[in-house]
Chain A
Amino acid sequence: MSDQTGSAGVVLKYTVSPDDFTRAGEASSKVKNILKQMGISPDVIRKVSIAMYEGEINMVIHAHGGEITVTITPQEVLMELKDVGPGIEDVEKAMKAGYSTAPEQVRALGFGAGMGLPNMQGCTDEMKVETELGVGTTITMSVHMEDK
C-alpha cells in the first residue's frame, strides 16, 4: 500500500492477492479505517465499504486479483478496481440481480448469489464497467460526499 497526499486528494493503492480468499477484504478494511480517521460521514463510509468489498471479492473469485486505487477528495471517494482477469462476457446480464457465473465452491463460501455488481451500483453514485474478454476488467465507482 502507498499513501500520497496532494492537491488531488489522498490516493491509496492496494494489490489484491490472487486466489487468497481468506485475505479478500483486507484492502476494503484498511480504506474503511482511513475514512473513519478522516471523519467522513458514516453513510458515505458504509457505501464505500460495501461497494469496495464486493469488488474486492469479485477480483479474488473471478479475476486472480488485481490493483485497487482509491482517491479521496472533498467531493467524492473514487475507487478504481483493475484486473487482468478473463473479462465479463455479458455486462448487461451481470448487472442483473441474481445472475451469477460463480462456481459452486464460491457459493459454498457465501458469495456468488449474483448480487455483487447490482449492489455495487446501488451503493455508488456513479459506476463504469470497462471489460474485454481475455484482457481484463476495470470498474470505476464514485461515492459523493454529502451536502456537496
Chain B
Amino acid sequence: MTVKDIQKALAATITTGEEYMDKEITSAFASDMMSEVLAFSKGQSVLITGLCNPQVIRTAEMLDISCIVLIRGKSANEEMIELAKERDLIILETRYIMFSACGILYDLGLEGGTT
C-alpha cells in the first residue's frame, strides 16, 4: 500500500511530505519509546508513535523510516517539521489511539514482526 492509503485509513492530516504520498509501504513499527524502536525495528518503513519531539524525526532518519504517524491527536512542532522537511520525511497526524491505528493498518495488510 502507499502512504496515501495509510493517510486515508487513519483519517490523518498531512503535516509534511505531501509530495511523497505515492511511496510504497509494507511494514510498520509502533512505540512511544525511541530506545525500543532503535533496538528492535528491522527495516520497517512507518513509525507509529505518540511521542512528539525532534528525536522522533532523528530516530526515523537513523533507521531509514520514511513515514511517521503521530497518534492520539499529537501535533508536530516547528522544529520537528523543519527536521522532517530537510530529510524528505513524511509526518501524518491522526486522532486514533495506538491500538486502533495499529489494528486498522494491520487489517489493511501492513506487516509488523517479532523481536
Per DSSP, are chain A's interface residues mostly helix, strand or loop, or mixed? helix
Instruction: State whether A22 touches B54 (Cβ < 8 A).
Output: yes
Chain B's closest residue to A109 (CB) is B53
Per the bound structure, the CA–CA distance linking A97 and B40 in Å amounts to 12
Instruction: State whether B51 touches A110 (Cβ < 8 A).
Output: yes
Indicate which residue in B35, B61, B63, B79 contacts A111 across the interface (CB closer than 8 Å). B35
Query: What bracket does the count of chain A residues touching chain B fall in?
Result: 20 to 34
The number of residues on chain B lying at the interface, defined by a beta carbon within 8 Å of a beta carbon of chain A, is: 20
Instruction: State whether B58 touches A110 (Cβ < 8 A).
Output: no
Expressed in whole angstroms, the minimum distance between the Cβ of B83 and any Cβ of chain A is 9
Instruction: State whether A25 touches B62 (Cβ < 8 A).
Output: yes
The segment out of A8-16, A45-53, A63-71, A75-83 that lies at the interface is A45-53
Per the bound structure, the CA–CA distance linking A29 and B33 in Å amounts to 20
Instruction: State whether A25 touches B39 (Cβ < 8 A).
Output: no
Chain A residues with Cβ under 8 A from B24's Cβ?
A: none
* 10 tightest Cβ-Cβ pairs between the two chains A and B: A113-B35, A25-B58, A110-B34, A115-B39, A49-B62, A119-B39, A110-B51, A115-B35, A53-B62, A113-B33
